[in-house]
Amino acid sequence: GAGVSQSPRYKVAKRGQDVALRCDPISGHVSLFWYQQALGQGPEFLTYFQNEAQLDKSGLPSDRFFAERPEGSVSTLKIQRTQQEDSAVYLCASSLRLAGETDTQYFGPGTRLTVL
């Protein structure tokens, strides 16, 4: 497709369940980012991939959060044993070039996660 796609768009989970959120970046984009956006706030960085390498995971809030991009394209963000504070919109973004350059990130529509 032309843009970044994410699935599912909406996810409701019971507290304690595991969830997996998928991101399909723009074809050929080297860099991929995950952000968490709480209600009424700006997005906050979670993790960053350059191709299949996870170069920065400093924003992951706990060890319950895990992300992978095994073939350098599609990425999955997994949250284990979900908690209510995990409720947020999870945004994926991709950019064309490598780290160190100030190029534009293109965002997907996000996955709205609600933990009951």
Partner 1 sequence: AQKITQTQPGMFVQEKEAVTLDCTYDTSDQSYGLFWYKQPSSGEMIFLIYQGSYDEQNATEGRYSLNFQKARKSANLVISASQLGDSAMYFCAMREGRVGTGNQFYFGTGTSLTVIP
Instruction: Give me the residues that bind partner 1 (CB under 8 A), please.
Output: 31, 33, 35, 40-45, 48, 55-56, 58-59, 89, 91, 93, 99-110, 112
Least separation in angstroms between CB 66 and partner 1: 17
Least separation in angstroms between CB 14 and partner 1: 23
Q: What is the maximum alpha-carbon separation in the chain?
A: 40
Least separation in angstroms between CB 8 and partner 1: 13
By C-beta, is 56 or 68 nearer to partner 1? Answer: 56
Q: 34: how many CB neighbours lie within 10 A of its CB? A: 25
DSSP bridge partners of 1: none
By C-beta, is 80 or 112 nearer to partner 1? Answer: 112
Nearest to 29 by CA among 49, 10, 7, 44: 49
**Residue 84 φ/ψ, nearest 5 degrees:** -60, -30
Q: Is the peptide bond before 8 cis (omega within 30 degrees of 0)?
A: yes
By C-beta, is 8 or 16 nearer to partner 1? Answer: 8
